Structure 1
Amino acid sequence: MFYWFLKYIVVGPIVKAVFRPWIVGKEHIPAEGAAILASNHLSVMDSVFLPLLIDRPMSFLAKSEYFTGKGLKGWATKWFMKGTGQIPIDRSGGQASEAALNTGLGVIGRGGLLGLYPEGTRSPDGVLYRGRTGVARMALEAKVPVVPVVMVDTEKMLPIGTTIPRIVRVGIVIGEPLDFSRYEGMENDRFVLRSVTDEIMVALQRLGQQRYSDEYASAAKERLAQARREQKAATA
């Protein structure tokens, strides 16, 4: 009920009126049954626009920090994340990764739509980076299709490090579902998981025409941060 209230009464109408988002390929999302929506990740706003512009409720696995903030801003963020179907997960790795996998499988097991970012984190520079294999493992274990989703220009609306959105028209392109049933029973084969993940990333790159790098986004973030630190030290 809260999700419906936010989407159709509060947030949805305001966002659509101000930012005039567009969407192409919405018919590729299954009308019923479970599926994974695998998206590129340019901005925190990605998790806002996709649920607002599709017809079915969906859930994203969101980092737990969004649900533990203090003060008015922390309360508002937590309220919004819960209201739009976001599910908190611990992204520290190890057992936390297994718990996140099980949380996602729970959403799929109930016949829902689960949104995932195969890159694992936001792109620091608009490039599409190498995918993590968790999305492949989840798709194979749950035996569900993967729908490629490309967010367009959301990084221009809310660049990393900013808090106030710019008035920029953003878009979403949704591709045809990818069927990986040919790999049934092979969800523990790391070579299969890498092959499936790469196929998803190729579909995203072709759909959005993003420049691709065979590097993890987390490594790219650290590399760029190190370059900034060295530049700052050189000019100090």
Structure 2
Amino acid sequence: MNADWISPEQKSLFRKKAIEEQNDAPLSLEYNGTGKVAERIRRIDDYRNSKNILVSLHPSLRQTCLNVLADQKKLLIPTPGLQKGFMLVSPTSVPPQKRKLAIRPIPNNPFGRKMPYEEPFQGLVDLIITEAFLLGRDGTRMGDGSGHLDIQCAILSSLGWLSPDVRVLAVADDRQIVPSVPVEKTDVRIHWIVTPTQVLAASHDEPFSCEISWEKLSKKQIRRNEALYFLNRRRLISLPH
């Protein structure tokens, strides 16, 4: 076991202490910095070379979503809570004046195609863009505690929709960058850090790897998440009787 891995309880205490030290107002990327971050992302080779990009639903990444479509790349959007899986938006189907509507994770989005779990993803996701509460220069990341990124990546991996060379990019304010943050074994590591003033390549550069920790999920969590429900049924069928 990696000596740097911690338990969920320890991680929660670390996050709580960090918030208290910030006077109960967690640091976050300011609205006027999101445009600068979106433009800096465009200059990164991993972004330029990507074709299918998963972008977090966080408000700080709305301009990035618009840029993805403007740059003629396919956009994969997680639905809220992943209850309805993922939607794929193809840039060729979206007029420029309709891009703001196309990036909305709503059921009646006329430009988003709900991805069926039993079908392969043509092209595979080769870049993931997310936000963070704290980011370590060594590639460690701490989110808001919801675990959305970890479960999204684990589901995509289990579905076979991730490129083996997928890269992870996280955005934050400069004040949110630290040498390292404590992580659990299942936490996703990042390769790039982008702030309004700089682009940092994380010292971590290991192959991407993640899997679903079924033992940590309740039956209710699995039932409420279409993708998890599908994967769990497939898993149970494959188990020896």
- Which TM-score applies when normalising by structure 2? 0.33
In terms of fraction of residues, the more helix-rich structure is 1
> TM-score with structure 1 length normalisation?
0.33
